[in-house]
Chain A
Amino acid sequence: MTTQRIETAFGPIEVRPGQLWSIAGSLAGFPELRHFVLLDVACHRPLVWLQAIEDPSVCFALAAPATFSLAYPPVPTEALFGTPAAETLLMLMVILERQGQGRIVPQPHRLAPLCFDLRRKRLTQWILANPRAVTTITFPVTQVPAPPLEPIAVNA
């Protein structure tokens, strides 16, 4: 099987075609980014990295919504992707925010989860206009299962 050598924030890696994700539409602020790979770095779990192919310096830390005790309404896949998607998964970009007394706190990019179409290897950003559509899970989340995204393992 042919592989492609790509540069990432963690160094060069070999990628199979089936490990590439393409974006439907574009990522706000990053219209030049069209293809990505997901990277699993053991010391950063449960986060995974979304690495841009077109720009090795661009990668995003992603977390499952449950990591932040958040729940989303059903995904309007046809509106997002143009065609229905049978199996999707939401992930949130992580932002490190400086809060009071210089404390750095991880925050989710709450209103714009990334929606992954697992069968077609597509992703898109779902922008929610109504903040109340996102709800907080009230029961305690003690362990967030690893999402079935099959990221590529890399060393930090």
Chain B
Amino acid sequence: MFVLSRRIGEAIRIGDIRVVVTRISGKQVRLGFKTPTGLRAYRAELYAAIEADNRAAQRVTPQLLDYWTKHDNATD
């Protein structure tokens, strides 16, 4: 992993993305992001949850949906 030290007000650039340290309070760091339009930044845990739900949605296949529809709320 690439590690950089920064102070409040200092920034790093990741390609077109600019990340600024805006506040440090105890163990918490507040970061500001300037991203190209259309590119968004998320908390990693939120993104991981969305990714997991996307994968869960992908497991809903036509065959599974047919099974569920035919058994209409069936237990198995």
Q: Which A residues lie at the B interface, using CB under 8 A?
A: 9-10, 24-25, 27-30, 41, 43-44, 47, 49, 58-61, 78-83, 93-97, 101-106, 109, 111-112, 125, 127, 129, 156
Contact = CB atoms under 8 A, between A and B. Distances in A.
15 contacts: A9-B61, A25-B38, A44-B65, A59-B58, A61-B57, A79-B37, A80-B40, A93-B54, A94-B60, A95-B56, A103-B73, A104-B75, A111-B49, A127-B47, A129-B42
B29 interface: no
* Interface majority SS (helix, strand, loop, mixed), chain A: mixed
Nearest to B63: A9
Contacts of B6: none
Interface residues of B, number: 32
Contact of B76 (A49, A97, A102, A129): A102
Given A83-B37, A127-B40, 15 more contacts: A10-B62, A25-B39, A28-B51, A29-B54, A30-B54, A30-B58, A47-B65, A59-B61, A59-B62, A80-B40, A96-B68, A102-B76, A112-B50, A127-B42, A127-B50
B7 interface: no
B50 A44 contact: no
